[in-house]
Each structure stands twice: as structure tokens, then as C-alpha cells.
Amino acid sequence: MKDLPVSILSSSELNTFVNRLVGISNEALADNPYVVTLGTLIAKSNADLSVSLGKTLGSEYTSKLLIQDQDRDHAFIGFRDFVSSFTHDKNVEKKGAAIALASIIENVGNRIYSLGYAVESSKMNSLITNLRTPQAQQAIETIGAGDWFEQLTTSQETFEKLHQTKVEADSEINYLTIKNSRTIISRYLQALLIYIGTNSDLDGAKYEPVKEKINVLITDAVAIARGRITHVENVNKEKDMAAV
């Protein structure tokens, strides 16, 4: 039996893996009381994990935050590019106003949209504060960037309100329940895997097919988890480079 590094699986990945594994073992070894008992114990803790994960509303807020983050990114890029389009204007007054605004943007970063939520919010708030000075507001009016500035501020305010709602929802999550569920699942899961692996050597005809199906599940689960970890590491590297 292949090793299953439970610690690298996210709770949702573990939840999905366990659902599939219990289904396979219970179907193939329904006449084995030990396997059924372990499967029942694992399934119960996995059900508790599902409930705890459901309370996080993770998928709901994750998707909403992603959409709102894209909105503020588009607003930032639109404002930045609109300002940039006037930096070579023939009208001296408009050109000067655009150059002043471009300098304010450059001070916080021309690519803040590539940063993480928290860092981007901090820089976005600094940008908006600097753009609200009388001089900056006059420059915005001079080149007619008022609509873009309004989109920028509105999208940032909406994002922060949504993010705060998520933070408040997350504060209600019982992380201890999630941790306990994972601990119990891991304990009984390892017992089940060892049992099936050992018996595949003693009774290959009955246990080897189950073992092979589970090995495929393990391979897929580990590949997904490592892919996720690698993706996160690459994103963080890109964000660190962008912040320099």
C-alpha cells in the first residue's frame, strides 16, 4: 500500500479522499466486520469535518472575493492607463496633471493588482488617500478622470466590506472540531490502509484489487495536494518579486 501523507492534504482534499475510499472499501469488503467498523468510524468523523467545513462558507466567500478583487484590479488598471494616456498630451495643463497623478500611482506601485489581498488593500488605501488631496483632485478633474476615480474608490470599499464579512464569519469557525476530526480520521484511516495492505499479501485475490484502487486514489490525492502547494509557492514568489 502506498504511503498517504495526510498532513499535506487540505481538509477539503482529505474529505473528498475519505468519501471515495470508504465507498471502495465498504463495497468490496462488506463482509469484513473490521473493515466496516473502521469505515463507519472514519465516515462519522468525516461527516463532522464536512459540517465544520460547511460552516466556513469558504467557497462562497472565496468566489465573491475573487470577483470583487478582479473588479478593483480592473478599476485600478483603468485609472492608471487613463492617466498614462494624458502624460504626452499636447495640452500642457493636462499633461502636467497626468504626470503628477502618474507619480502618485508609481509611488505605491504600477502593478499592485498582482499582490496579495492584504498588501494590495493597504497600497490601494494609500493610493486613494493620496488621490484625495486638493491638488490630486484638481488634477483628476483637469483630465476628466473622475469616473475612473469613483470606480476605484467604490470597488475598494466594496472589497473591504466583503473581506470584513468573511473575517467575521471565519471567527465563528470551530477550528478545534476540524483538527479533532482530522486526527480521528488519520488514526482510523492508517489502520484501515495497513490492514488492507497486509491482507493483500495474505489473500491477494480478495484484497489486491481493493489495494490497487486505493493506491490510485492516494496517487491522485497526493498529486492534487502537491500541485496546490507548488501553485501557492509560485504565486507567493511572484508577489514577493512584485513587491520589491
Closest CA to 7 of 210, 185, 237, 203: 185
Q: Which three cell numbers stand for residue 183?
A: 486526527
The residue that leads in pLDDT, 237 or 11, is: 11
Confidence band for 167, pLDDT divided at 50, 70 and 90: confident
Distances (CA, A) of 154 to 92, 128, 133, 140, 165: 30, 11, 17, 16, 17
Burial class (CB in 10 A: 0-12, 13-18, 19+), 124: buried
Give yes or no for residue 155 having a pLDDT over 60: yes
* pLDDT value for 29: 94
Confidence band for 117, pLDDT divided at 50, 70 and 90: confident
Q: Which three cell numbers stand for residue 3?
A: 504511503
Q: Are 72 and 152 in contact (CB under 8 A)?
A: yes
Q: What is the mean pLDDT of residues 147-160?
A: 95
* pLDDT value for 241: 56
Q: Are 12 and 182 in contact (CB under 8 A)?
A: no
The residue that leads in pLDDT, 47 or 237, is: 47
Q: Are 214 and 4 in contact (CB under 8 A)?
A: no
Q: Which three cell numbers stand for residue 168?
A: 467575521
- Our CA dihedral for 216, 219, 223, 225, rounded to 10 degrees, sits at 100
**Degrees to nearest 5, angle at CA 41 with 35 and 44:** 135
Other Cβ atoms closer than 10 A to 139: 24
Confidence band for 184, pLDDT divided at 50, 70 and 90: very high
Q: Which three cell numbers stand for residue 216?
A: 490510485
How many Å separate Cα 128 from the centre of its chain?
26
* Percentage of the residues of the chain whose pLDDT score is greater than 70: 90
pLDDT tens, 21-78?
999 999 999 999 999 999 999 999 999 888 877 655 455 677 788 889 999 999 999 9
Burial class (CB in 10 A: 0-12, 13-18, 19+), 129: exposed
* pLDDT value for 21: 94
* pLDDT value for 58: 53
